Amino acid sequence: MRAKTLYAVVLVTAVALSSACHRLTFLPGQEPEHKPVVCEGRYALCTSAACAPLATFNPKTGKVESTSALCECAVANGPSLGDLSCADRAPQGKDGNLLVSTYSFGETATHPAMTCAEGSPWAFCYDQPCVVDPKDPTKARCTCPLRTSGEYATLGGACDKAKCATTIWSAAAPDAMKEASNLLAKDEGLKAVPANSCQ
192 within a domain of the structure (yes/no): no
Residue 199 forms part of a structural domain: no
Task: From residue 135, give the alpha-carbon distance in Å to each of 91, 128, 139, 177.
Answer: 18, 21, 9, 31
Question: Contact 151/117 with Cβ under 8 angstroms?
Answer: yes
10-residue mean pLDDT profile of the chain (199 residues): values are 38 37 36 77 98 92 92 97 96 94 97 95 97 97 95 97 96 96 95 90
* Residue 197, in any domain of the structure: no
Residue 195 inside a domain? The answer is: no
User: Is position 145 within any domain?
Assistant: yes
Q: How many domains does the chain have?
A: 1
Answer yes or no: is 32 within a domain: yes
Residue 180 sits in which domain range? 2-187
Report DSSP state, residue 83. Answer: S
Residue-level length of the chain: 199
Which pLDDT value is given to residue 33?
55
For the whole model, what pTM was predicted?
A: 0.80
- State residue 123's pLDDT score: 98
Residue 131 placed within a domain: yes
